[in-house]
Amino acid sequence: MEYRRLGSTGMYVSEIAYGNWITHGSQVEADAAMRCVKTALDVGITTFDTADVYAGTRAEVVLGKALKGVRRESYELFTKVYWPTGTGKNDRGLSRKHIIESCNASLKRLQTDHIDLYQLHRFDFETPLEETLSALDDLVHSGKVHYVGFSEWTAPQIAAGLKIQDAKGYNRFVSSQPQYSALWRVIEAEVVPLSIKEGIGQIVWSPIAQGVLTGKYLPGKKAPAGSRATDKKSGAGMISRWLTEEVLTAVQKLKPIAEEAGLTMSQLSIAWVLQNPNVSAAIMGATKPSQVKENVKAAGVKLDASIMRAIDNALGMLPEKDPAKNISPNPRA
Mean pLDDT for the chain overall: 92
Angle at CA 14, nearest 5°, toward 155 and 308?
A: 65
- Residue 302 pLDDT exceeds 90: yes
Instruction: For the chain, give the longest Cα–Cα distance.
Output: 56
- Residue 236 pLDDT exceeds 60: no
Running DSSP on this structure, what letter comes out for residue 25?
A: T
Q: Look up the pTM and report it.
A: 0.92
Q: Give CA–CA dist 277/208, Å, rounded.
A: 18
Going from N- to C-terminal start, the domains of the chain cover: 3-325
Mean pLDDT to the nearest integer, 298-319: 96
Homologous superfamily in CATH for domain 3-325: NADP-dependent oxidoreductase domain (3.20.20.100)
Q: Give CA–CA dist 124/94, Å, rounded.
A: 6
Residues tagged active-site = 54
Q: What DSSP assignment string belongs to 75-98?
A: SEEEEEE-S-SSSSTTSSSS-HHH
For residue 52, what pLDDT band results from cuts at 50, 70 and 90? very high
Element (H, E) at 279: strand 279-284
Phi, psi of 275 (to 5 degrees): -75, -20
For residue 274, what pLDDT band results from cuts at 50, 70 and 90? very high
Per-residue confidence (pLDDT) for residue 290, from 0 to 100: 93
CB within 8 Å of 299: residues ≥ 6 apart: 1, 2, 14, 15, 16, 44, 274
Instruction: Tell me if 65 sits within 8 A of 97, measured CB to CB.
Output: no
- Residue 332 pLDDT exceeds 70: no
Per-residue confidence (pLDDT) for residue 225, from 0 to 100: 57
Q: Give CA–CA dist 149/11, Å, rounded.
A: 14
Element (H, E) at 3: strand 3-5
- Residue 223 pLDDT exceeds 80: no
Q: Give CA–CA dist 279/92, Å, rounded.
A: 29
Q: Give CA–CA dist 228/207, Å, rounded.
A: 15
- Residue 145 pLDDT exceeds 60: yes
Question: Percentage of residues in the chain with pLDDT exceeding 90?
Answer: 80
Per-residue confidence (pLDDT) for residue 246, from 0 to 100: 94
For residue 22, what pLDDT band results from cuts at 50, 70 and 90? low
β-bridge pairing 12-14 and 3-5: antiparallel
Give the sign of the dihedral formed by CA 232, CA 238, CA 242, CA 248.
negative
Instruction: Tell me if 25 sits within 8 A of 61, measured CB to CB.
Output: yes
3-state class percentages of the chain: helix first, strand second, coil last, to nearest 5? 45, 15, 40
- Residue 26 pLDDT exceeds 70: no
**Between 283 and 32, the higher pLDDT residue:** 283
Per-residue confidence (pLDDT) for residue 56, from 0 to 100: 87
For residue 299, what pLDDT band results from cuts at 50, 70 and 90? very high
**Between 226 and 64, the higher pLDDT residue:** 64
Element (H, E) at 161: helix 155-168
Mean pLDDT to the nearest integer, 78-107: 96
Q: End-to-end distance of the chain based on CA atoms, in angstroms?
A: 42
Radius of gyration of the chain (CA): 19
